[in-house]
Amino acid sequence: MTVQVRLFGNLKGKAPKLDDSGYVGIVEMPIDDIETINDILGILKVDEMETSHIFLNHEYTELSSSVKDGDKVGIFPRDMALLYRWYFKGGIKRSYATGEKARK
């Protein structure tokens, strides 16, 4: 029983250099000692202040979110912060060129 954790940007260095998946930055973690996203950060020695956005099963989430077997977690560093209103449901979409609201 595992949780897949994908680390992006400079956080990839917190992952083992190569795991069973063969990719740097992807870690299959046993669920045994993990209850929340915050537990994952602790195990990987990632400080909360190093992160910008965290996703659980492709949805924006928070540190206190519970995780279970088979979940996928994505952790982005501060230098890869997203303009979340642009990408998420209900956000205001604006044209980068004109600054005007885009039509939905």
Domains of the chain and CATH, by start: 2-87 (3.10.20.30)
Mean pLDDT of 8-34: 79
> Over the stretch 55-103, which tens digit does the pLDDT of each residue have?
999 888 989 999 999 999 999 998 887 655 555 554 444 444 444 444 4
pLDDT of residue 92: 43
Report in angstroms the alpha-carbon separations of 93 from 58, 76, 102.
Answer: 20, 22, 5
59-60: strand order across its sheet: 26-30, 2-7, 72-77, 51-56, 59-60
pTM score? 0.72
